[in-house]
Amino acid sequence: MFDSLARLFRSEDPAAGHHISGALALAALLVEAARRDDDYAPTERAAILRILMREEELDEAAAQALLLKAETAQQEAVDVFRFTHALKESTPFEDRVRILEDLWDVILTDGDRDFEEDHLVRKVCGLLGIPDRDSGLARARVEARQV
């Protein structure tokens, strides 16, 4: 945490200024969601891999490689803005709700939902220009699939 704060004040985000792909941005945002409750569970990692294989049409090895890059990018990032910015640039508005469904999928996978995770989704909604109502509907769809 203190390293992130120091980078923020010194503007030393290691990836600042570098282009980030939509695929890496999605993966890093999903890792952020999984780590938000300070418990990066194996079930959450498996959910991220499943999502990456589906959304990015990757085989398991490519999804694993992308996830490793995403874990590093997320850990080194000061905040989620560069990830949401890349997603906003690479994803048409009508497809952005799917990103929220993916976030909710990871968040709800461990059976526990906390304030920090809810806060992340609200922040992502704002940065992607998605109304809160659409987030609630996305969560409901994910909950219905997980039953």
pTM assigned to the model: 0.85
d(CA 76, CA 72): 6
**Using one digit for the tens of pLDDT, what is the confidence trace for 18-53?**
689 999 999 999 999 999 989 899 999 999 999 999
d(CA 124, CA 38): 19
| Both tokens assigned to 128 | 């992607």
Residue 139 pLDDT exceeds 80: yes
- Residue 38 carries which DSSP code? T
Residue 70 pLDDT exceeds 90: yes
Position 71 confidence tier, pLDDT thresholds 50, 70, 90: very high
Residue 63 Cα distances to 47, 103, 115, 128, angstroms = 11, 17, 29, 24
Predicted pLDDT of residue 94: 85
- Could you tell me the domains of the chain? 2-6+20-146 (1.10.3680.10)
Position 60 confidence tier, pLDDT thresholds 50, 70, 90: very high
